A and B are shown apart, each in its own frame.
Chain A
Amino acid sequence: MTSLPPPSAKKLGLVIDLDTCVGCQACATSCKEWNTQGYSAPLSDENPYDADPTGAWLNRVHGYEVKEPGLEQSRIVHFPRSCLHCEEPACVTVCPTGASYKRAEDGIVLVNPETCIGCKLCSWACPYGAREYDDSHGVMKKCTLCVDRIYNEHFEPKDRIPACVKACPTGARHFGDLGDPGSAVSLLVKEREGYDLLPEMGFKPVNKYLPPRARRDATTMKPVELPKGDGGAFDRLFAWADQVLSRKMTAMRGDDTDYSGKLEG
């Protein structure tokens, strides 16, 4: 049934801290690893070892450069992107088969891999690019909020969290009930002024993002002056050694081309 259920009191979701995310991709790889063997498995890749590999992932970590007004240097923000488990998800209502649905009990948005026809319309309806098509199975894949972990009684209670949250080495990912104003994640969102992506589109995402904090000091903004020599005996010795060695290296190479730049990238 792709009509939406009445709004649930429980709204399970993620809170992602853009201040502490270091872009290590641990969440993305652990997501892939868990979800290729769990619900709706496998999460396939096409030509994984060829020149042109592709595959379905449920979590992607982007990098953005932000130019803050008045500051000369821009800053890099690592930005994990996955399904936001919207309160009013258009991906669900456009589904012609009922394969795409929002759970009434906790708000998780799921795809039933047994009834999905792979028409891709849900991916067109999602502004967040959260749904990916699995070429080898002909169905859509998306973040399940690790529904097969968070209620899994075979796990220790501390492990009943999504794989991405479990894997994050900097604690940048938080899981909880955003429908409960007193929950740890709701308090975090309140304290750090967590926000919605593309709020103007009106899909009411449950997942929230915490903005990067203001910079604490000037060390990352101003180019640091390198210490200069005092012109003493040691400095002169090093300068002489530098000169001699530079000449020798050039002679060995046999030409004057400077190759040092070629080592980059």
Chain B
Amino acid sequence: MHPAYSVILFTTASGAGYGLLALLGLAGASHGVASSMGFALTAILIASALITIGLLSSMLHLGRPERAWRAFSQWRSSWLSREGVASVITYAPALAFAAAWSGLIGAPQLIAPLGLITAVMCVVTVYCTAKIYSSLPTIRAWAQPLTGPVYLAFSLATGAALMTAIAAVFNRFQSFQVIVTVASIILLGILKFFYWRAIDRGEKTHTIEAATGLGRIGSVRQWELPHTAINFIQKEMGYAVARKHAAALRSLVFLLLALALLAVLASLAAPLVSLIAAVLTLIAAVVERWLFFAEAQHVSTLYYGEQRA
């Protein structure tokens, strides 16, 4: 699948934003009013900026961005529509939580319920994002049981790394934040390892013979393309550049995560090193997301000469 930069930015930026927002919600739910309004507002602002940049970037991917509002209508059948609805709904509890948690409005009794609702909505939204991909049986690498958990884990890990870094900048660094970040990066590494193992071991069950139905008379091979120039299907579904470098890029993701892990641990001695950890985790997310698209093979490529999909 063609790795559109707008979609990569959308899923990684909004994923990190929702992860950070969810963790702030949980922090508020357990600790009450934030110890500093500056810290609370900055952290919430960074989370909402990441979410909003992501959502705007996903709109850039549209052919008709001015009609994007229509995407809120088909939540009964479409995961993309559900994702849109969930992402917009999340703004309401998130803004209310930001106001209560930072102390802008004095309502300490509302912090815990608003924080929890915000965290739940963040999980729902990221889950909807993952379901857009995992509900497509036409793309074997996406229709995997681990697609959803990996999206959630990336959201958690990038969010936790960001939270630790922001806390360090505001002198609110706590070893508990390091524990959350380390645990989420390790969980992410394990899930991604098993995800990649699953797509490598999974059988390609669709064949050019079934796609053309010509298997009933013999074995099939592409003889002639229907057109002399490349078409939409080949551009959108036939991206094969990355498959050559997949192994190296996968190692790079693990390397970046390992370095992020070391940086987080180092931040116990020098808290500001957690900034490096956040950057490394975000880069790992971008590389992984690029691979997620570039490695995925679409069934329709069978009509363009692939033997199995």
Contact = CB atoms under 8 A, between A and B. Distances in A.
Interface of A: 1-4, 18, 23, 28, 52-57, 60-69, 71, 74, 76-77, 79, 81, 90, 92-99, 115-121, 123-129, 132-135, 137-139, 195-201, 209, 211-212
The 5 closest A-B pairs by CB, nearest first: A118-B63, A138-B63, A63-B224, A129-B300, A96-B81
A52 B132 CA distance: 32
* Residue among B71, B226, B304 with most chain A CB within 10 A: B226
A127 B303 CA distance: 10
B222 A65 contact: yes
A240 to B, nearest CB: 43
22 contacts: A4-B77, A23-B224, A53-B229, A62-B225, A63-B222, A63-B225, A65-B222, A77-B214, A93-B78, A97-B71, A116-B63, A117-B70, A120-B63, A121-B132, A123-B233, A125-B136, A127-B206, A132-B233, A138-B62, A195-B216, A209-B213, A211-B213
B64 interface: yes
Q: How large is the interface on B (under 10, 10 to 19, 20 to 34, 35 or more residues)?
A: 35 or more
B68 A117 contact: yes
A61 B132 CA distance: 31
A45 to B, nearest CB: 10
B17 interface: no
B205 interface: yes
B218 interface: yes
Tell me whether chain A's interface is mostly helix, strand or loop, or mixed: loop
A98 B73 contact: yes
B210 interface: yes
B222 A115 contact: no
Interface string B59-81: 00111110110111110111111
Contact of B213 (A93, A125, A195): A195
A135 B236 CA distance: 13
B219 interface: yes
B243 interface: no
Nearest to B222: A64
Contact of A124 (B136, B211, B218, B231): B136
Contacts of B222: 62-65
B80 A63 contact: no
B138 interface: yes
Given A124-B136, A198-B299, 5 more contacts: A64-B214, A66-B218, A90-B137, A94-B79, A117-B67
Interface of B: 1, 61-65, 67-68, 70-74, 76-81, 84, 132, 135-139, 205-206, 208, 210-214, 216-227, 229-233, 235-237, 298-300, 303-304
A205 to B, nearest CB: 10
Nearest to B208: A64
B226 A201 contact: no
Contacts of B61: 119-120
Contacts of B76: 2-3
B142 to A, nearest CB: 9
A129 B298 CA distance: 9
B63 A137 contact: yes
Contact of B224 (A1, A53, A62, A95): A62
